[in-house]
Structure formats: C-alpha cells, structure tokens
Amino acid sequence: MRKWISFPHKAGTVSRQAHADLPEEAIYEREAGRSGFFGPAAHFHHRHPPTGWSEWQGPLRPRALDLNRQSERASIPWQVPAFLYNRHCQMRLWQLDGDMTELMRNADGDELMFIHAGRAELYCDYGHMTLESGDYLMMPRSTMWRLEVLEPLQILMIEATGDSFQLPDKGLVGPHAIFDPAMLDLPQINDRFLAQQDETPWRVNIKRLGEFSSVSYPFNPLDAIGWHGDLAPVRINWRQIRPLMSHRYHLPPSAHTTFVASRFVVCTFVPRPIESDPGALKVPFYHNNDDFDEVLFYHAGDFFSRDNIEAGMVTFHPCGFTHGPHPKAFAAGLAHAKKFTDEVAVMVDTRDPLVLSDQAKALENPDYANSWQVTE
C-alpha cells in the first residue's frame, strides 16, 4: 500500500480557493499536481506569467502539428504512420476517399475512431450503422469491419495498444452525467446489413504486433444473422455530450473525460457557458505536466485558450514544464470578453512519454513555443 505524503500548508500571500479570488498583486496562478488532477497539488501565485519564457531549446518544447498538410493515404489505416505513439497508445489521422474493398481487424487493441470529417456506412461483425462527422466509434479489439464512404473521411484513430477502452467513474455526479450510457448507439442487424452478405471472395487484413497478415474467404465473413451479449462497438457524437459546468469555478480537464484506458484518458471539450463569478478563472489555469503528456486535436470552433490554431491541428505538450493559455486568451479571460465557448476538441493524456514520428515533425510549426511571448 502507498499513500501520498499529505500536509496541507499555506505560505505567503495566497487565495483560500484554488482558481478563484486570486491576490491582486499576483494574478497568475500555477498548479503543480500529481496523478493528473486527482493527486496532491500545490498552487503558486506569481507576479509574471509562468509561460513568459524568452527562448526554448531542446526536445521538450511544446509542439503544434498541422495535420491538414498530411499527404499519406492508405487503404489499410494502420499503414498511415502514427503522429504520436508509445507502447500503450498510437494516434494517427486516416483519410479515406472511397469504399473499402477489404475488411480490417486490429488484434493489437481497442480502436477509438473520431470522425473529424465526412460520412460513411459501417459494416462490422455486429451489424451496420451510419457514421457522421463528430462521432466517436469505439471498436473492440479484433472486430472485423469496413466502411462505405458517403463523403470523404478524415478519422482520428486512437489505439489502446494491448488494452481496452472503458467509461470513466463519474463519482459524485452519478453514472448518467456528461452522457447517459443509454445514449451509446450500437450496430444493428438490419436489412442493409443482411443485403451486403454475399458469396463473393473477401480478404481480411489483420494487424498484430504492428505486422500485417491477410486471410481470404470465398464468401463475405460479415454473415452474422444475430448476436447477443455485452461486448460491441459503441458510438456517441460530441453533440450528445453534456459537459459538467460551474459558474463559480473553472473545472479541470479531467471533468470532461469520455473514455479511459489503463495508461491514458480521452477527454472531449464541447461548447459551454464560461464561468460568470467575478473571482473565478475564465480560461484554463496554468499547470505543470508532472505525470502526463498532453495532446489536443482541434475539431471545430474557436479555440479560446490558443492563438492561430485551426481545425485539424494538434498541440503536444510533453511532461515536464508549465503551460496554459496564450497571452491574448488570458487577457480576454480577465476582461470576461466571451460568455460562451464554441470549441470542440479531443484531448489525450498519457501516463507514458509519447514519441513524435518523423512524418509528424515535417508537419510542425517550429515557432509554436514562442507563441506565449507577449508582443506589443
């Protein structure tokens, strides 16, 4: 058994409540915490912004990638290089313009797909469903599937390598907060699914340990006429997520957790009212990355804590330094210039260090680390 060393203490000039009613002479608050936002924490009050660096050198710097510039195409999604990866997680953007003519199966782990753009018909072991922009699709490990494209697709794929995706424990707010599990849609054995069953040859591409095998059938192996149980792909759209909110307190990103794996979490930021209490922070607070690498994929809207970030871009903040809102966003928060956020973003926080692929380095904005500098 282990237990955090705990000794609540105060020194100097402090606020009694974290993220609210900050001292007038030190309006910059920084949180240093452990276990994401669930462990012990210290809150510092600074005279200068903790991100007010004048220069960055070395590989730890914050990164911004423009995946809109990615040119790789592949009929097998896992042949597109992951832009960030470690032993427990892989992230890639897969673009698909036409119908799949072969089936896929990922034997390395559950796959979470976020439809960034496009529409498609999904056919899998469990039946059929239509996918729309903004959908999450959680595909259990080793499920066979294919897509018929209705509109060209861009899909953020997040693999839980050797692992599974589960729902978070929602604690005091209860299991129906954020989204009710009854909101999860499942594929159906419907007329459309039965109609695609035929006796023509099909091939299944299987990924295991990062290598590919193929199995050929003289018939379509998606030939189930029914199934029962409690294992299946599930879908939910970000528009069906009802975020936790507090008009008096800026909630940490962990309040927006959507799916969890053993070594990382996936959170969803969706539009919500901005805090209205005069003393409450209106933008994300400055905080250290002390146990997690943080990745944000920007889907839609105006990303209120960042400058010059557009849909289809990714920011990557490795563990080990303080980050937070850009200067313009912080100033707008102090002025309460916005009453509502309209951003939609997918966040992945990993306990293990992520590696930036060589392909992703070519998509990087090298000046991103300088974007926290105050310009006149």
Give CA–CA dist 153/124, Å, rounded. Answer: 18
pTM reported for the whole predicted model: 0.93
pLDDT value at position 36?
Answer: 77
Task: List Cβ neighbours of 226 (8 Å cut-off, separation of 6 or more).
Answer: 189
Annotated binding site for Fe cation: 287, 293, 323
Confidence at residue 28, expressed as pLDDT on a 0 to 100 scale: 84
Q: Which of 60-69, 79-88, 143-152, 331-340 has the lowest mean pLDDT?
A: 331-340
All domains in the chain, ordered by first residue: 28-53+241-372 (2.60.120.10), 77-172+182-238 (2.60.120.10)
Alpha carbon distances (Å) from 156 to 40, 86, 115, 138, 352: 33, 16, 7, 12, 20
Mean pLDDT of 278-304: 86
Q: Model confidence over 71-106: pLDDT tens digits?
A: 998 999 999 999 999 999 999 999 999 999 999 999
pLDDT at position 376: 52
Q: Is the alpha carbon torsion for 344, 348, 349, 354 positive or negative?
A: negative
Residue type, 351: R
Rounded Cα–Cα distance for residues 178 and 42 (Å):
28
> For the chain, what is the radius of gyration of the CA atoms?
22
Residue bearing the bigger pLDDT, 97 or 326? 97
Q: What is the bridge-based pairing of β-strands 272-273 and 340-341?
A: antiparallel
Catalytic residue among 19, 43, 88, 250: 250
Contact call for residues 316 and 65 (beta carbons, < 8 A): yes
* pLDDT exceeds 80 at position 307: no
Q: Which two tokens stand for residue 166?
A: 């589960």
Element (H, E) at 333: helix 327-334
The strand pair at 202-208 and 103-106 is best described as parallel
> 69 by DSSP, 3-state: which?
helix
Confidence category of residue 41, pLDDT binned at 50, 70, 90: confident
Rounded to an integer, what distance in angstroms lies between the CA atom of residue 28 and that of residue 22? 8
Looking at the predicted structure, is the pLDDT value of residue 296 above 60?
yes
d(CA 237, CA 239): 5
Which one-letter amino acid corresponds to residue 96?
Answer: L
- Distance CA(87)–CA(293), nearest Å, equals 14
Q: Are 136 and 258 a contacting pair, CB within 8 Å? A: yes
In 3D space, the residue among 342, 149, 312, 168 whose CA is nearest the CA of residue 238 turns out to be 342
Structure tokens at 239: 């528009």
d(CA 268, CA 341): 13
Q: Is the pLDDT of residue 31 over 90?
A: no
Q: What is the pLDDT of residue 286?
A: 84
Average model confidence (pLDDT) across the chain: 92
Q: Is 119 exposed, middle or buried (0-12, 13-18, 19+ CB in 10 A)?
A: middle
Active-site annotation holds for 9: no
Over residues 168-206, the pLDDT tens digits come to 999 899 999 999 999 999 999 999 999 999 999 999 999
- End-to-end CA gap in the chain: 53
For residue 293 the two structure tokens come to: 């690498």
Residue that wins the pLDDT comparison between 214 and 282: 214
Q: Which residues of 256-277 are buried (b: 16+ CB within 10 A; e: fewer)?
A: bbbbbbebbbbbbbbbbebbee
- Reported as a single tens digit per residue, the pLDDT across 327-369 is 777 777 777 778 888 899 999 999 999 999 999 999 999 999 9
Mean pLDDT confidence for 230-249? 94
Of 288, 108, 299, nearest in space to 206 by CA: 108
